[in-house]
Structure 1
């Protein structure tokens, strides 16, 4: 046990003291924040005003196209032929032609442009024309605009979980987002830190350092020390990222507190305006900040965090043992490719299956893939925010521990032989022989 601890200490300190680790740990949350800030800034600040000319021969769409921050509509009284001739000189971005018989032939609408028009602009123009034609046809049938407005209903339901503890408000949207994030973090960590274990073993084997180390440490102890050491490095980075992200979020909340208060006041005033004479609220207006916080509070955060920690460690230990066996079996990184596919396929399939599990968290596919040790770390983390029976979580954890124990045994049998094997191209048949060597 002392030797394993020494290897863990060495692997941990060597990686944590690297400049790359410190830089990525500090810059990671900042880079994510900068990325999303840049996306928002581009989405808001890069809007260009586009001019669209409209030639309406039907005279039914006057002032139906509304100006916005990005679009300005000019109605022309000239004929389409002369409008097309003057289009290039006008500097407009598009020319919309609506013929007289547009109601009988709605597909006769034409949009002219110097190059092309965006799908957003094209669909926006089509929507306006479609709605106007619909209203004209309904009016001819005796249905007024007021009747149409009164018939439109915005239904917004509230999800409530029924359990032995009673009724509890839940949020499917928040569960989907949290489950997806947890699954993605485990998916990435298994690849990143598992590969680190494999490359570290391959590097020591190539440099012949392992021949010196193996004289005082057993192969099994060396492999376990490397796996646990890298796992602690990953946990350290995750903890620091969480602390830094929480700190940045607190700072951002304090900076934006005035804006949030103003928004909440505006929402309250809007609710009062929508309140009819009977005193009952007539609008369905909610504070978006309070709605997000309520969605998050509806989840069992302690359970999610504890399960994330377990499945992160379980999934990493299971796959890193196999990555370590591959690193011990080959002489260089180029030879690892032939053995990587059987290991990475279950991880990739897990992430693909997760997309279907999000649609049906309690289906048979979700249940069985959350029990198989090779897929359970990702799939179970997708399911847990939606609510999973305790016996299913316990069974999945037991099977994951057994799966990890089995892969450790298998990897250690390959590791003890392969770590001192040089100059030989290893095949799957050769690996099978190593497992049963005494």
Structure 2
């Protein structure tokens, strides 16, 4: 164990002292914060009020123009199309909507003019306004009151509650799905990043013949185990730095680019252009944003259990796959030769994410989710995507952990058998048949 510890210590210190580690430890949180901040900043910079001119030759908007929505206001211009185009160019409106004389039963012939192409969002809002006007005209012709129909529409919000042996617990499907994907993605990403580091480290020592000197003092199994544990420490260190720095950076910028402030600025601009109706709509947008925050607060997730299991499956999944990546590195001489062995190792990880979209998040307690959370190849991601939804019995969680530990011990033994032979073999193309023979070599 002392030799394994010395090797792990060397691997850890060698990597954390590199400039690349320090740079990525700082850039990681910035990129994380940027994922959330940049879209908001872009929306703020491009959040300019748009004015759509309406040439209503068909009288569709004879009573009133469409109500202002989002950042769009409507202004009436001449119903004559050539005159309307002249006004459009002179006033530099964002778009010109032309409503021809039409049959309300079969409305057709609408045209929208713009200078540099029409954005999808603006086009969708204009289409929605025209559709609403046509529907209102049809209801009026049929003698139906649109206000009465609106009062008959129901907007129901369901509060989900999980029933278990411990009692009732509030839940939120949206929040649970978000937490599940976040945990699964972090484990998936770190297994790949640091698993490949193990493989490249073993290949580098093998090709530089350094390992020939090292294994005169330690056994190949001890060398591989030390590498896996040392790089695992690097992964935990970087993850901890990312979490702490991401939280600090996100908290710092939240005040300046918060959705509430953006909505408030939008209210002030739209009010000046469109009056009190826009105020109601902007408040509705703000209410939707508050509902998301409220749902996250009310979701009674067991964050202690989720955090503890995340650390276990993060480490367990890394050790399980790290041993396999180390075995691949010892069996080949170049990264080109790794492709034939990488596919069987990485396919279960990719498969878990594919199945997650169809099964794990839609039926987290079904048979497929159960078996995937038991098999060590898929359990690190599958179980972490089940836990936020609740309802996972403790015996299933305990069994999954035991099987992952047993799987890790099995892969360490398997990788050690390959490592002791492959680490000193050069210039030979290794096949699966050759690997199977290495497992049964004596000594």
Equivalent residue for 2:224?
A: 223
What secondary structure, in the 3-state scheme, does the structure 2 residue paired with 1:108 have? coil
Mapped partners of 1:248, 1:115: distance in 2: 38
Q: Deviations over 1:23-68 (max 9, x none)?
A: 2223321332234222211112123444433221222314433446
Structure 2 residue 426 is matched with structure 1 residue 427: no
Equivalent residue for 1:403?
A: 407
Q: CA deviation at 1:366?
A: 1.5
1:368 to 366, 371, 378: 371
Structure 2 residue 334 is matched with structure 1 residue 320: no
| Alignment check: 8 A CA contact 2:78 2:84 kept | no
Equivalent residue for 1:20?
A: 20
Mapped partners of 1:57, 1:287: distance in 2: 42
Alignment CA distance shift 1:159-1:21 (3 Å): same
Alignment root-mean-square deviation, CA:
2.7
1:87-236 superposed matches below 5 A: 91-236=92-237
Mapped partners of 1:87, 1:374: distance in 2: 63
Mapped partners of 1:333, 1:372: distance in 2: 28
Structure 2 residue 11 is matched with structure 1 residue 11: yes
Equivalent residue for 1:269?
A: none
| Alignment check: 8 A CA contact 2:364 2:389 kept | yes
| Alignment check: 8 A CA contact 1:370 1:376 kept | yes
Mapped partners of 1:157, 1:61: distance in 2: 38
| Alignment check: 8 A CA contact 1:353 1:379 kept | no
Alignment CA distance shift 1:233-1:117 (3 Å): same
Q: Using structure 2 for the length normalisation, give the TM-score.
A: 0.86
Equivalent residue for 1:77?
A: 78
Alignment CA distance shift 1:236-1:94 (3 Å): same
| Alignment check: 8 A CA contact 1:190 1:319 kept | yes
Q: CA deviation at 1:187?
A: 0.4
Alignment CA distance shift 1:177-1:122 (3 Å): same
Equivalent residue for 2:271?
A: none
Mapped partners of 2:326, 2:257: distance in 1: 47
Q: Using structure 1 for the length normalisation, give the TM-score.
A: 0.87
What secondary structure, in the 3-state scheme, does the structure 2 residue paired with 1:106 have? coil
| Alignment check: 8 A CA contact 1:102 1:109 kept | no
2:312 to 310, 313, 322: 310
- More deviation, 75-84/362-371: 75-84
Mapped partners of 2:48, 2:116: distance in 1: 16
